[in-house]
Amino acid sequence: MSAVEEVAQPASGCSWFCCAQDEPKAAKIPAGRRTIVMLFGPPGSGKGTQAPKVVEKLGIPQLSTGDMLRAAVAEGSEVGKKAKVVMESGGLVSDEIVIGIISERIAKPDCAKGFI
């Protein structure tokens, strides 16, 4: 049984997917094994309950696009400035902006071994 299976038994309506990436495609990420865990499910299905358990077990950070968007806006990064305009108007942030924020975040050293 994998580490993820041991700590994150999915709640009803919640599912998880885990993969190991032996050769990261992002040039800024050091070579080696990375664990990437994605938790999917509707509101209230247990994603927020299970994620800290997986973080503790695997020692990799939990990423949240909402948290990353707010941090990018607070930092005043280029992507954050674009997101701020959309967020202040009440619109949905485009995939292009979200992908930019995720790309910036997973290039940081604490994500070298993986992330949730």
pLDDT in tens, the chain (116 residues): 344 443 444 444 444 444 444 444 433 334 567 889 888 888 888 888 889 998 988 889 999 888 888 888 999 988 889 889 998 999 999 999 888 888 888 999 999 999 99
Residue 86 token pair: 């959309």
pLDDT of 60 reads: 92
CA nearest neighbour of 20 among 39, 2, 8: 2
pLDDT of 32 reads: 67
Rounded to two decimals, what is the model's pTM? Answer: 0.63
pLDDT of 46 reads: 87
Bridge partners for 38 per DSSP: 17
pLDDT of 31 reads: 52
pLDDT of 111 reads: 93
Q: Which pairing describes strands 34-40 and 15-21: parallel, antiparallel, or unpaired?
A: antiparallel
Please count the helices (runs of H) and the strands (runs of E) in the chain. Answer: 5, 3
CA nearest neighbour of 10 among 49, 57, 63, 64: 49
